[in-house]
Homo-oligomer: A and B are copies of this chain.
Amino acid sequence: MMKHFDKASIMEAESAFRRDFINCLSGYKSLNLIGTKSLKGISNLSPFSQVFHIGATPPLVGILFRPHTVERHTLENILETGYFTLNHVTEEFYREAHQSAARYSGSEFEATGLEEEYLGDFFAPFVVKSKVKLGCSFVESQTLKVNGTELLIGAIEHVWVDKKGLRSDGSLDLNLLGTVTVTGLDEYHVGKKIARLSYPKPGKELEEI
């Protein structure tokens, strides 16, 4: 049994209902902790569900920053220093990841107990417990006229990945790595693989690979 909402009924709904509803409509979302450090040396950690693939050659990643966030330390630190890290979240520390969204004045690493680490000579902090860690540099950002959302593009400079989850063809086994996915604002899940499918061509039967 399907329920229908038109734009008017969505706009007339309570704002909390609308926020939860619309945030769930795109489906499952990626979950990354973004690590940054200010020029004053204060580290920062914040969960993001709006990180996506922009290109492989060269390797690029995009992040959307909501316009009405009062404090945007993450965005400010990236623009100020040019560097940030992306860290996959696992079931082991998704609660600390969620808690790191609280409005702390100091470092979220200290506040949540998630240990930070510095790898090579990369400026921004990584999350020790993460199984997939990316070191990225700022490329460009632009403001979406429609509602002030900020789209930031980063170049992937370094990747550290747990060997057990890296397949020989380059793909990652995110089930094995325990990477968490999020729906809406606050609901966390692990993935359970159905199948991997062969490249689709007209008239050719799909195979599991």
Contacts and interface: CB of A to CB of B under 8 A. Distances in A.
Interface in A156-185: 156-164, 166, 169-172, 174-175, 179-181, 183-184
B170 A19 contact: yes
Work out how many copies of this chain go into the complex: 2
A132 interface: yes
A186 B180 contact: no
Contacts of A201: 102-103
A187 interface: yes
A28 B28 contact: yes
A194 interface: yes
A189 B194 contact: yes
Interface stretch (A1-9, A35-43, A75-83): A1-9
A25 B134 contact: yes
A57 B191 contact: no
A30 B24 CA distance: 10
Contacts of A155: 7
Given A30-B28, A52-B26, A163-B1, A21 B194 contact: no
Interface of A: 1-7, 10-11, 13, 15-32, 50-62, 64, 66, 86, 88, 91, 94-95, 98-104, 111, 119, 132-134, 139-140, 142, 144-147, 149, 151, 153, 155-164, 166, 169-172, 174-175, 179-181, 183-184, 186-202, 204, 206, 209
